[in-house]
Chain A
Amino acid sequence: MRVLTHAYTEEDLLNGLQAGTGEVIRYIYRKNLSPVKQLVTRFPGIILETEDVLQEGLTRLILNIRKGKFSGKSSLNTYLYSICRNICLKENQRSQQANRFRDEEKATEEFGNPFGDADETEKDYEMIQRVIKAKEKMESQCVEIIDARFAIRSSPFALRDKQSTDCRQRTANSEQHSRLTPFEEVAEHLGISADNARQRFKRCLERLIRMVRPEAFQVN
């Protein structure tokens, strides 16, 4: 019972989540299981189990902490509960059984998190899920080359000579692209030619975009 009664300070918990300490993750999971279970029972229409909601909530909590989006204006447990509540509301909306909770959802949209701690929007998480699903469907060769090309560099490369300074838009676009790994480096990493890397990347990128945003393409 030692683990069950162990008392952590907020700072301990924050540091533990920052470092991915298993004992802290388990502690927060247990501490919040009962409240989240009660929360989930308020949404009988959703298909997620309490464990799914809490695991998803914990994942988002850790991501937000590591990105510096948790300001500490609320307690970690309150923040986690608010994330889980948003997950439930979204799921409820998705299952089109939101009538009973429409007012509550509207309130959330209007006022957001009352403690001022930011979270990604549900739209962002939807996109993340789409990309993950696409990754799972893609061949490993595609995942490998997109990984290599999209390994965004911390500092932008110097702009190429050919980029003229009189074309602002072009420069802005190119600047973003210049932060991607050049095909020469991708090719070297994969042991193929640069042309081959470019062709393969374009083919894989098209597959990715088609899976992430199929509505942009003609179906028949």
Chain B
Amino acid sequence: MNRNHNPDLDLIERYLEGNLDEEESNAFRKQMQDDPELTELVKLRKELPDHWKRAGQYQQVRQEVRGSLQVPAHRGVFQLNRTVWTIAASVIILLGTALLVILTNPSGPGGGQMAEETDSLLLPSVERADDKALLEEVNPEGSGDMNHVELIGPEQNATFREGDPIVFNWETNRKGSIELTIFEVTSGRIILARTVDPSSHADTLQPQTLEPGRYFWYLGDKSQKRSFTVINP
């Protein structure tokens, strides 16, 4: 067997079930010796129950993780208890304000020490010098908004049925043209890359264009991307 011939799956099944007579079985083994692709396929077939089982376990644990992090399938936003977020936000604002006051008055009593403690509380495991270097490395030109693109829809982790049209919306002050790109997450393959007019603020993907799966999309700037899922209805 090679790529020019479709493999005889029925023969593989009969071989694995022990339903070939001795002569057929020997011939099949000889065929495997001469054809590494057939050997690979038989190996895959033997391992398939285990792969199937592990895929089920993976899906179950993935669901546990998503459930614990309260990530709804249609939104995918990491949500904690609203009260916890409110308290956390308040504390960060307070600390930020305190830090600002201290930094504008560095000679004040104990100012340096308090700033150090605050930083280590906010970023417990990050070396600040490295952090700054990394940020500069990723975005060397700063965050100017000359070419700013704001993705509006689909929202992060939105879900669509295979037969749904998918409308992409954005806001931008960019002129000329811009590329709408869609990646398939599992393979990392670019599924679609087409030039759109930024001033149109929208582009529609026709139904059945994407197979079920998880995708990322972005407009020009790869660092700003969103995911969405297409499901089998």
Instruction: From known contacts A38-B134, A128-B55, A205-B9, infer whether A59 and B61 are also in contact, taking CB-CB under 8 Å.
Output: yes
- Contact (Cβ within 8 A) A152 B50: yes
Known: A26-B69, A170-B18. A59 touches B58 (CB 8 A): yes
Contact status of A128 and B58, CB under 8 A, knowing A150-B53, A169-B29: yes
- A22/B58 in contact, CB under 8 A: no
Q: How far is the CB of A174 from chain B (nearest CB, A)?
A: 3
For B134, the chain A residues whose CB sits under 8 A away are 38, 41-42
Q: Is A192 an interface residue (CB 8 A)?
A: no
In the complex, the answer to whether A174 meets B17 with C-beta atoms within 8 Å is yes
Q: How far is the CA of A55 from the CA of B53 in the complex (A)?
A: 21
Interface string of A1-30 (1 = CB under 8 A from B): 101100000000000000010110110010
B117 within 8 A of A: no
Residues of A within 8 A of B25 (CB): 167, 169-170
- As a 0/1 sequence over residues 164 to 191 of chain B, the CB contacts with chain A under 8 angstroms (1 = contact) are 0000000000000000000101111000
CA distance A63 to B56 in the complex (A): 11
Q: A95 contacts which of B15, B18, B40, B188 (Cβ < 8 Å)?
A: B188
**Is chain A's binding surface mostly helix, strand, loop or mixed?**
helix
Do B62 and A59 touch across chains, with their CB atoms under 8 A apart? Answer: yes
How many positions in chain B have a CB within 8 Å of any CB in the partner chain? 74
Annotate B1-30 by CB proximity to A: 1 below 8 A, 0 otherwise. 001111101100101111010100100010
Q: CA separation between A215 and B40, bound complex, in Å?
A: 11
B187 to chain A, nearest CB (A): 8
8 Å CB contacts to B: which residues of A93-133? 94-95, 124, 127-133
Distance between A154 CB and nearest chain B CB, rounded to angstroms:
12
Q: Quick check: is B41 within 8 A (CB to CB) of the other chain?
A: yes
Chain B residues with CB under 8 A of A47: 183, 185, 188, 216, 222, 225
Q: Does residue B80 face the partner (Cβ distance < 8 Å to A)?
A: yes
- A-contacting residues, B102-119, CB 8 Å: none
When C-beta atoms are compared, the residue in chain B nearest to A173 turns out to be B16
- Of B18, B22, B212, which contacts A174 at CB under 8 A? B18
Q: Are A218 and B186 in contact (CB under 8 A)?
A: no
Q: Which residues of B contact A35 (CB under 8 A)?
A: 125-126
Asked whether B138 lies within 8 Å of A209 as measured between CB atoms, the reply is: no
Q: Does the CB pair A25–B41 fall under 8 Å?
A: no
Q: Is A84 an interface residue (CB 8 A)?
A: no
A180 on the interface (CB 8 Å rule)?
A: yes
In chain B, positions 58-90 with a C-beta closer than 8 Å to chain A are: 58-59, 61-62, 64-69, 71, 76, 78, 80, 84, 87-88
Looking at the assembled complex, report how far the CB atom of A107 sits from the nearest CB atom of chain B, in whole angstroms. 19
CB distance from A82 to the nearest CB of B (A): 15
Binding site for B on A (CB under 8 A): 1, 3-4, 20, 22-23, 25-26, 29, 34-35, 38, 41-42, 44, 47-49, 51-52, 55, 58-59, 62-63, 66, 91, 94-95, 124, 127-133, 135-137, 146-147, 150, 152, 160, 162-163, 167, 169-171, 173-174, 176-177, 180, 202, 205-206, 208-209, 212-213, 215-218
Show 24 A/B contacts (Cβ-Cβ < 8 Å), sorted by A.
Answer: A20-B61, A23-B68, A35-B126, A49-B227, A52-B227, A59-B65, A128-B51, A128-B55, A133-B213, A136-B213, A137-B232, A152-B49, A169-B29, A176-B16, A202-B9, A202-B13, A205-B9, A209-B9, A212-B44, A212-B48, A212-B51, A213-B40, A216-B40, A216-B41
Top 5 closest pairs, chain A to chain B, by CB: A174-B18, A22-B68, A25-B68, A131-B55, A94-B188
Q: A66-B61, A217-B7 are in contact. List 17 more A-B contacts (CB 8 A).
A: A20-B61, A25-B64, A29-B68, A34-B125, A42-B134, A49-B225, A55-B66, A59-B65, A94-B187, A131-B51, A160-B18, A163-B18, A170-B18, A174-B18, A202-B9, A215-B3, A218-B6
